[in-house]
Structure 1
Amino acid sequence: MLLKKVVSALLSLSLLVGVAGIQVYAEASDESAKVDQTSSATNSEQDVTTITYQDYDVIPAEGLSNNYLSEDQLAESKVAGLAAGVYFIPGIGEVALLVTGGVVIAGATYYAGSVVYNKVKAYLSSKDAADAEIAAEAAYKEAKKNGTKTGTHEDKYPPFNNLLTKGKPRSSEDLYDSKGLKQRRYYDSNGNADEDIDYDHSNADGSHTFPHRHKWINGVRSK
């Protein structure tokens, strides 16, 4: 009888320890899983916040082929509104400018800060400056040809009685006297007197008709 009680007590004790052990293990496993999940989430957050496009010099172009852009692809990119312009740049090749920022070369997009992007922007800046220079010269020559005022123009009134031989580059000046417009002078890209249009001056022998022109050559006004 006593033996049965001892065995029964031992069995109860072992069951109690077993259940407690299982519960402790389960709780430990849950905590471990939570730690793993937290660690994974933390690592994911770190990946998202620390790894950005700025860490790369080149990333695949979104919406464009990873192969070299064909004429059809460039045309499609324009239709889709992705490309703001397409240029051929010596030493680089065909370049598509995206309206969203960045440049596409051979299927890869380069963003601000990359060596290639900076090189492209520097070239385009110099090209824009050159284009602006060409346009300014063309506008100046057109105004001079037509005898009209240039974009940069000044009127001179008495006590001014003569126009200077130096002025603002690609500009014009008008000289007035008591009777009205007397002379218009054009200044070239270096600010040197380039050409005059005379509207009125002494003409005792009647040898001049008005208006008439005089060119400036090497600082000397022609007859």
Structure 2
Amino acid sequence: MVLKKLMGALLSLSLIAGVAGVQVYAEASNVIVGVEQSVTDATNTEQEVTMDTYEDFYVIPVDELSNDYLSEDQLAESKIAWAAGVYFIPGVGEVALLATGGVVVLGVTYYAGSAVYNKVKAYFTSKDAAAAEAAAEKAYEDAKKNGTKAGTHTDKYPPFNKLGTQGKPRSSEDLYDSKGLKQRRYYDKNGNADEDIDYDHSNGDGTHTFPHRHKWINGRRF
């Protein structure tokens, strides 16, 4: 609770002082942004602080950012600014993130380039990477479950007559012959053959129904 009050005071002072050391990134635009909000300074006196315009910049929502605008480091720093709030970060402790891009730990504000700030940035970057990995795995598993093409997919036609045991990670390949689609193979996150869907092959004894599936385990098809 004390940290949150301190945060309010620090943020207010930075606003009243003209937001010194602002860490934002901008795209040229004719947009004029107006913000009006109530803040409390260090003496708990409530004031109206009005910023009619940001003449030199406006903040771009993270979802609208792309590599065309920011580097990966700048994007990570921008995300810190947009994640303003209080968090517990392993190895750092309770951290307050300011909308100005700074981080507050034990009442001290750190900005880009400091060791503490870099630890916080690394934490958010790793969370982004973990979230992206989980989303990619889910998309792949959903495609495999539904028997649909994976996000990365290749079609192979004659003279190809066999699919390989190695492929692109989380991908699928279709093998065609003169009659049409013969087999679809899925490759796991390491690029190893994971599962097949057979659509057609010799069935002299009449024991197979199509399509049917085969799992790959340790490089062997079952």
The answer to whether the aligner puts 1:84 opposite 2:82 as a matched pair is: yes
- Structure 1 residues 124 and 66, CA gap change in structure 2 (3 angstroms): farther
What is the alpha-carbon distance in structure 2 between the residues aligned to residue 117 and residue 183 of structure 1? Answer: 51
- Structure 1 residues 129 and 220, CA gap change in structure 2 (3 angstroms): same
Identity of aligned residues (%): 77
Deviations 1:106-135 (A, max 9, x none): 554321111111110012112211221122
Trace 1:1-223 onto structure 2 (pairs within 5 A).
Answer: 61-63=10-12, 84-85=82-83, 86=85, 87-106=87-106, 108-222=108-222
Q: Secondary structure at the match of 1:160?
A: coil
Q: Secondary structure at the match of 2:12?
A: coil
What is the alpha-carbon distance in structure 2 between the residues aligned to residue 182 and residue 198 of structure 1? Answer: 6
Contact 1:66/1:107 (8 A) holds in 2: no
What is the alpha-carbon distance in structure 2 between the residues aligned to residue 171 and residue 180 of structure 1? Answer: 20
How far the C-alpha of 1:161 sits from its partner, in A, is 0.6
Structure 1 segments of 4+ aligned residues over 6 angstroms from their partners: 64-67
- Structure 1 residues 66 and 220, CA gap change in structure 2 (3 angstroms): farther
How many corresponding residue pairs? Answer: 149
Q: Quick check: which has more Rg, 1 or 2?
A: 1
- Please give the TM-score of this superposition, normalised by the length of structure 2: 0.60
Contact 2:12/2:41 (8 A) holds in 1: no
What is the alpha-carbon distance in structure 1 between the residues aligned to residue 137 and residue 216 of structure 2? Answer: 17
Q: Secondary structure at the match of 2:91?
A: coil
How far the C-alpha of 1:139 sits from its partner, in A, is 1.3
Contact 1:196/1:213 (8 A) holds in 2: yes
Contact 1:83/1:96 (8 A) holds in 2: no
Q: Gaps (5+ residues) in structure 2?
A: 1-8, 14-39, 43-79
Q: Gaps (5+ residues) in structure 1?
A: 1-59, 68-81
What is the alpha-carbon distance in structure 1 between the residues aligned to residue 150 and residue 106 of structure 2? Answer: 44
How far the C-alpha of 1:105 sits from its partner, in A, is 3.8
What is the alpha-carbon distance in structure 2 between the residues aligned to residue 195 and residue 66 of structure 1? Answer: 62
What is the alpha-carbon distance in structure 1 between the residues aligned to residue 192 and residue 119 of structure 2? Answer: 36
Larger RCO (CA within 8 A; separation ≥ 6):
2
Residue 84 of structure 1 aligns with an amino acid whose one-letter code is W
Residue 132 of structure 2 aligns with an amino acid whose one-letter code is A
What is the alpha-carbon distance in structure 2 between the residues aligned to residue 94 and residue 206 of structure 1? Answer: 66
- Please give the TM-score of this superposition, normalised by the length of structure 1: 0.60
Contact 1:61/1:104 (8 A) holds in 2: no
Q: Secondary structure at the match of 1:119?
A: helix
What is the alpha-carbon distance in structure 2 between the residues aligned to residue 192 and residue 66 of structure 1? Answer: 60
Residue 128 of structure 2 aligns with an amino acid whose one-letter code is D
How far the C-alpha of 1:181 sits from its partner, in A, is 0.8
Residue 91 of structure 2 aligns with an amino acid whose one-letter code is G
